[in-house]
Amino acid sequence: MTQTLYAQDEAGNRHKVIQRVESAHEDEPGPEHGTARLVYSLDDGTPVRRVDNDTFQVVSTGAYISTVRD
């Protein structure tokens, strides 16, 4: 399942954030074996991490973007 969210950086630029469900690979050891997790990225594929309900962090730059609700 995929969901699209929109976020804005400090300069006012809008970014599309893609949320998708990714299941853990069968060969991954540990307690998360076979567990699904939410993965976030910008529409260009850049990984982002969810900080809280309204904030994401771009992994490569450390920049924060905030969710925009229309």
| Residue 36 burial by Cβ neighbours in a 10 Å radius (0-12, 13-18, 19+) | exposed
pTM of the prediction? 0.79
pLDDT tens digit string along 9-66?
Answer: 999 999 999 999 988 665 666 665 668 889 999 999 999 999 999 999 999 999 999 9
Q: Are strands 47-52 and 36-42 parallel, antiparallel or unpaired?
A: antiparallel
- All structural domains of the chain with their residue ranges: 2-67
What is the per-residue pLDDT for 35? 81
